[in-house]
Amino acid sequence: MKRKTKPQKSTFKALALRLTFKVVGWLSLFIFLLASGYAIFLDRTITSTFEGRKWSVPAQIYAQPLELHPDLNLSESDLMTILKRLGYRPVDLLQGPGTFRSIDLGLEIHLRAFNFIDEARNSNKIRVSFSGDQLQSISSEGRSIPLIRLEPATIGSFFPSHGEDRIILSPEQVPKLLSEGLKSIEDKEFDMHQGVSLRGIFRAFLVNLQSGEVRQGGSTLTQQLVKSYYLTNRQTIERKLKEVAMALILEARFSKTDLLTAYINEIFLGQNGSRAIHGFGLGSYYYFNKPIVELNPSEIATLISIIRGPSYYNPFRHPERALKRRDFILERFHEDGLITKQQLDSSLNRNLGVSRSSSGIASYYPAFLDQVRQELASDYGPKDLNSIGLRIFTTLKTRSQETLQETVSRTLNDIEKQRGIPQGSLESAAIIADSQTGEILAMVGGRDAKVDGFNRAINAFRPIGSLIKPVIFLSAIESGMHLASVIEDSPITITPKFGEPWSPKNFDGEHRGELPLVRALGQSLNLATVRLGEEIGLVKIQQRYAELMNKPAKNKYHSFLLGAEALAPIEVLELYNNFASGGFQTPPKAVIAAVDSSNQLIDQRPFNIKNSIEFDAVNAINRGLEVVMTHGTGRNSPYSKLGIAGKTGTSNDNRDSWFAGFDNAHSWIIWVGRDDNQTTGLTGSSGALRIWNNLISRQGIEPLQHLSDEHLVEIEFLTGLVARPSCANTVSIPIAKKTTLPVKAGCGIKQRRYRTRYRE
C-alpha cells in the first residue's frame, strides 16, 4: 500500500505568493482606476468651473454726475470737498488722473476717464476759476469749455447674500508692479512650476524659521487660488492632497496669465461689515479710495501685505503690523529690481495712507438704494443685480443727500433738547425731488440715514392729516368754485349708515363762521373742510384722489376728509407731484438707465408723465398753497414769503408731523414721528417744517414762476372781499374773467369799477 505524500512548504509559499500578487494587482488596478476616475472628475469639475467662472459682480449704483459750468453756484472749497469724496488727491504737481492742485484763482484737475451713458470720456486736464462762491470759467489746453461733467459718485452696490463684492480687472488693467510684486512675495517660481513648488516650501520654511514669524508661505499662487475657489480652510491631509491635485490640473489646463488674473480678482482682502472684499480692484477702493491704476508702490505693497492675514495685518486696526510688513515687501521689491532705490526711499518715508471714506464701495444711502431696488425689481431678478456687473445710473444728487441727512439728524436733536423729548425717540423720513419730473434727488429713511434698516420713506405708512386737504379744495375748484367762494366754518355732525356719529373740531376748538376757501385752506380749518367735502361729495373726492394716485383710497369714511388715510412719504410725494409739476402725474423716479458689463445701454427709463389737472384748477390750488405759507400754518417760517407753496399736516394726538412743499425746482416731503406711534407733541409746523426751514437755510429757494397774464384779484384774507392792501390784509388769487366778487366797504373800490376791470 502506497503512502500519501505531504505537500512541501515551498509549494504552499508559492501559492500564497501568487495569490498575494494577484490580490495586490487587482487592488492596485482598482486604486488606479479609482484614482483615474477621481482625477477625471476633478479635471472636469475644475475645468468647467474655471472656464465658466462668473464672479458675483454686484450692480454698481451711480449718483448724478456734477456738471461744471460758468455761473454755477459752487465755491472752490466746495469743489475741493467734492473731488476728495470722489477719491481725488490734492498734490503740488499733477501726478496723473485722480489728482488736483490749487492755482491762482482756482484749481487744476486731472479728470479720470469714465464711460457715461451717452459717451466715453478720456482722462484730461482742466482748469477751473472762481469768483467768490461762483464758478467763473473752465478751460482745457487754453480752450474755453462751456460744460464738463465730473464722474458720478458710486453710492452703493447690490452685493449677493453670501456677501462677496469685487471689481473685476482684466490683465491690461493690472499694474505691472502688482503682478510682478505678487510673484516676488508670494510665489517666486510662479512662471516655472507646474502648480506646486517643493523648493518654495523649503525656502519659506527656512525664512520663517530665521525670522521667527510667518513672512513667507509655502503655497504657490495656484494653490492659494484653489483654496479660494474650491476648498475650505480646514487643515487636514485630505484637503492638502486635494489642493495639490487641483493645482496641478489648473496649471495643465490654463495659462499663467489666466491663473494670475483670476488670483488678482479672487483673493480675499478683508471684511467691510457684511461684505467680503475680494480682489485688488475693490481692495484699492476699500483701503485707498481710488482705482488700482492710481496706486503708488507703497500702496501696492500694503495691499500685498494684507494677503498673508487680512485680519492680522488690517491697516485700520493694526497699522504697526501692516507698516512693518509693507516695508519688508518694499525692500523685496527693490532687491528683485521692481522699484528703484529712489522709489524705495520715498515709499519707506510714507505713512500707510489708508482712507476710511471708501467711495468706490460704500453704501452711503441705503434708503435711496431701496427705492432703486424697487424700481428695478420688475425687470431684474436678484441674480441680475447681484452678479452680472450692471451699472445703474440714478437721479440722486450727493450734495443734496448729504445736506438732507445732516439736517434731519441735527434738527431732531435740537427739537428733543428744546422740548424735553427723550433723546433719540423721534424719527423722520424726508425726500427731495425735482418738482417738474419727479426725479428723486435725495431720500432719508431715518435720523441715522447711513444705517441700513427700516426705511420710513418707503415703508412707514402713517395718517397724513391735513396734507389731504388740497385734494378736497381741488375738487371744489373743478366743481365751479373759486378761492374767494364762501364756506361756513361751523360745527357739523355726520352720522353714517353704520357706526357712531362723527363731530370733527378745529385744532384750536374754535369756529369762525363764513370765510373764503383760500382762508379755510391757508389756516387748515377742519370744520370748513368737512363742510366743503360734504358739499362736493365724499365719493367724488375719493374718485379724484384715486385718479391722482392711480389707486383707490383705503378709508371709505368721512374721516378721510381730515387725512385719516395712511400713506408712506414716497406716496405723499406722488400725490403732491400733481401740484408741483403744474398738473401732471410724475411718478417718483430714481433710475435713469442701466448698462451691462460691456458698457452697452440695456435699459433707459423714460419719463412717465400725463396730464392730471387742468391748468386753471392747479394754478388756483398752488396759489392757495402759497397763501398757506404767507398767511396760514406756514407763516412762521422765515422763508414763507419767498415763493413757496406748502402744506403742513398733523395727525390725531400729534402723533405725526408732516410738511409737503415745492418751489419752481424742488419738491419736499418731510415726516416726523415715533416708531411706537406715541404722541410727539409736535404739529406739522413745530416738527417737519422746522427740518425744512433748516434745509432751506443751506440749499436756498427757486421761487415759483407765474404767468404774467394771470387774472389776479386782491381779496381780504379773512372775508374774501375785494380790497386793497392799504386797507386790509390781502392775498392775490386767480379769478376767471367775468366773475363778480363783493367789495370790502371803505376801501374806495366801486363795484361797477371792479366789474368793468375784470371783464373781457
Active site members? 186, 466
Q: Which run of H or E residues covers position 369?
A: helix 366-376
Q: Are strands 657-662 and 645-650 parallel, antiparallel or unpaired?
A: antiparallel
Q: How far is CA 312 from the centre of its chain?
A: 32
Measure the CA–CA gap between 299 and 297, rounded to whole angstroms. Answer: 5
Number of H helices and E strands in the chain, helices first, is 23, 31
Task: Return the half-sphere exposure (C-beta side, CA atoms, 13 A cut-off) of residue 304.
Answer: 32
Amino acid, res. 568: A
Measure the CA–CA gap between 437 and 625, rounded to whole angstroms. Answer: 20
Q: Are strands 440-444 and 427-434 parallel, antiparallel or unpaired?
A: antiparallel
249 phi and psi angles, rounded to 5 deg: -65, -45
> Do 71 and 131 meet the contact criterion of CB atoms below 8 Å apart?
no
Per DSSP, the three-state class of 494 is strand
Per DSSP, the three-state class of 568 is coil
652 phi and psi angles, rounded to 5 deg: -55, 140
Q: Residue 338 has what DSSP assignment?
A: S
**Residue in 286, 226, 245 with CA at minimum distance from that of residue 53:** 226
24 phi and psi angles, rounded to 5 deg: -60, -40
Measure the CA–CA gap between 759 and 279, rounded to whole angstroms. Answer: 76
Q: How far is CA 679 from the centre of its chain?
A: 31
Beta bridge partners of 671: 429, 658
How many Cβ atoms are within 10 Å of 452's Cβ, its own excluded?
16
Per DSSP, the three-state class of 173 is helix
Phi-psi label, residue 474: left if phi above 0, alpha if psi -120 to 50, beta otherwise: alpha
Measure the CA–CA gap between 751 and 481, rounded to whole angstroms. Answer: 20
Q: Residue 353 has what DSSP assignment?
A: -
